[in-house]
Structure 1
Amino acid sequence: MNRASELWKCLRKGRLLIDTCNDVPGRLSSVYTTRLSSLSSSSAFSHVVDRPFSQAASAAKDNPEALKEATAQMPVSAHSGPSIGRRFYKSAYAKEASDGDGYLVMLDHRTLKTPAKTYLKVPSLALAHAIAAEWEYQDQDAIRPFTMPLMKLTSTAIDKVPKEREKIIQNLLDFFHTDAVCCRHAVDSPLGELQAEIMNPLLDWIEKEFGCRPSHSSSLFVGNQSDEVVEALRKALKKTNDWQLAAIDALSAAAKSLVIALAVSRGKLGIEEAIQAIRLEEDFQIEEWGLVEGGHDIDVADLRCRIAAASVFLRLF
């Protein structure tokens, strides 16, 4: 079954684990699942219900099979790699590192490593449980990396960000000049008015948070942002740790917007608010011309997974 077909099946029946509980003060204290409803109408993808799943904490610790049952048929990214072989372990679980500094994920007696062969050590038990849940979800016939967004983000934070921090920050700032929040339709058009309603508060927030306001334009030839704004955001990005920068980079790529990525990372936007802002133009066109099943809806599910994973990741470490 190809990735698009699998995602389509998940859209019909699936639930996405977007949080793992560990009752740690300052961390997320419950587990939420997102049930994606039937895609029989153009607005169906917006019908999302978040509800607590109180049993997941004990399941993560004491009953991996119950956790696997709870997270079965997760909607996952359709734009990731294929399977990497059969499942070679019986159970996945989290444990404290022997030095007392962080937590590890175990696959039976083996300590999980990143793609660069570094031990995958994370700062919180909640994140370790969540990554273990992703590995516990895997079927016997195949391990599918695209069903493990938290594993991917963690590996990026450990393997890539420390070595390429300056490059990542510069890439974010280079693409900021064509940020989706700042590239608009004509202000007197229906879509332009809607963009102003949704996007201007984000620019207000940037100004309040960082002391300068990005410009926006409806021109086909979008001008560069001022040096003042760029340097203010550079300063903010340099203050992030590796885990935060990995998530901001992933959010920016999914949203095509550093503004939205920063807003999510700092709690200004929730998952659904971010998705509404990101999809504003495309949803406007869908209202006008209709939804293409097997196209638009899969894009929405993929986006939801990417934004939710990065948002949850930021609250777990």
Structure 2
Amino acid sequence: MTYETKPGVKIPTRENALPKRFYEAVDVVELEAGFAVHLDGRPVKSPARRALTLPTRNLAELVASEWAAQGERIDAPAMPATRLCFVAIDLIPDARDATIAEVTKYATTDLLCFRAPEPPELTMSQAAAWDPILAWAEETLGVHFAPATGLMPIDQDPVALQRVMHHASGLDTWRLTTLAHVTAVCGSALLGLSLIHGRIDGEQAFVLAHIDEHFQISQWGEDHEASERLARLRTELRTMGEVLRALDAAPDA
């Protein structure tokens, strides 16, 4: 269906609603407490007006690159590293226990443990992709998760769930925020922990989390909306991998 407007009347677009870019220069500035991103000499602040102080130069450079890449309008959804850092500063310190509990909750219905009963091509793809992660989690993290066929709830080992909680509890604010985000995007605490521990990278997390979608695309083709959605998720997870690499850099690097 098409809509007609009066001559000279423009229908607002998504871009029209975005805030205009108000700065020219983007710089990383070293502080006593870490690194800041400055826009025309002024420090970026979080939505809660807290100072955006980052623990490594690499992370500050990653955030700065997102601000520098903006055009005439500032598109916040296209700035995943910046958004993650805002969450880490504004929300996680007061919601640490709830965040750990949420990651553990995802583990009770972890994506990697729900296998399709058919067709054989999909079941084999899931097993080939996900079984190595389950084996790694048991060997490295000491958590045993049992896969099952179908959508019925699985009663996972309470000890395994407690250990997931323990591993999440041992993370600093930045890595816990990243774990929680990856877990939610993937529907899998095990993929989140695999990324945190360097077992997989962001691209692999995306592929492993979307085995079903890629199978459906191979059978029926890809529509435009699905393609855009998957592209956004791929960017999100790739960026989460970059955030972790930046955090692993030396504090003064």
TM-score after normalising by structure 2 = 0.87
Secondary structure of the 1:181 match is helix
- Count of paired positions: 235
The aligned residue for residue 102 of structure 1 is: 34
Give the Cα separation in 2 of the matches to 1:231 and 1:106.
42
Query: Partners of 1:179 and 1:93 in 2: how far apart?
Result: 41
2:36, 2:60 within 8 Å by CA — same for their partners in 1?
A: yes
Please give the residue correspondences for 1:301-312 in structure 2 after superposition, counting only pairs within 5 Å: 301-312=231-242
In structure 2, the gaps of 5 or more residues are 1-11, 248-253
Q: 1:245 aligns with which of 152, 176, 196?
A: 176
Higher relative helix content = 2
Alignment of 1:13-24 (within 5 A): none
Q: Shift of residue 296 of structure 1?
A: 2.4
Task: Report SS of the residue matched to 1:152.
Answer: helix
Deviation >6 Å, runs of 4+: none
Deviation, structure 1 residue 187: 7.3
- For the residues of structure 2 that align with 1:188 and 1:280, how far apart are their CA atoms? 13
Superposed displacement of residue 202, structure 1: 0.6
Moved more, 181-190 or 233-242: 181-190
Give the direction of change, closer, same or farther, for the CA distance of 1:182–1:104 in structure 2 (3 Å limit).
same
Query: 1:90 is matched by which residue type in structure 2?
Result: E
CA deviation map 1:35-67 (0-9, x unaligned)? xxxxxxxxxxxxxxxxxxxxxxxxxxxxxxxxx
Counterpart of 2:63 (choices 108, 111, 131) is: 131
Q: 1:285 aligns with which of 194, 201, 216?
A: 216
How much is the aligned-residue C-alpha RMSD, in angstroms?
1.8
Does 2:191 align with 1:257?
Answer: no
* 1:89 corresponds to 2:20: no
CA contact (8 A) 1:187 1:196 kept: no
Q: Give 1:145's aligned amino acid.
A: A
Q: Give the aligned residue type for 1:116.
A: A
The structure 1 residue matched to 2:52, chosen from 93, 115, 120, is 120
Give the deviation of 1:139 after TM superposition: 2.2
Instruction: Name the % identity.
Output: 28
Question: Is the CA contact (8 Å cut-off) linking 2:81 and 2:240 kept in structure 1?
Answer: yes
Name the CA distance, whole Å, in 2 between partners of 1:105 and 1:308.
21
Shift of 1:308: 0.8
Instruction: Note the C-alpha offset of 1:168.
Output: 0.7
Give the stretch that moved more between structures: 278-287 or 185-194. Answer: 185-194
Alignment check: 8 A CA contact 1:187 1:218 kept = no
> Is the CA contact (8 Å cut-off) linking 2:21 and 2:71 kept in structure 1?
yes
Tell me the equivalent position of 2:230: 300
Secondary structure, counterpart of 1:206 in structure 2: helix
Alpha-carbon distance in structure 1 between the residues aligned to 2:13 and 2:114 = 35
Structure-2 residue corresponding to 1:316: 246
Distance 2:161 2:122 in 1: 27
Structure 2 counterpart of 1:91, one-letter code: A
Q: How far apart, CA to CA, are the structure 1 residues paired with 2:58 and 2:128?
A: 37
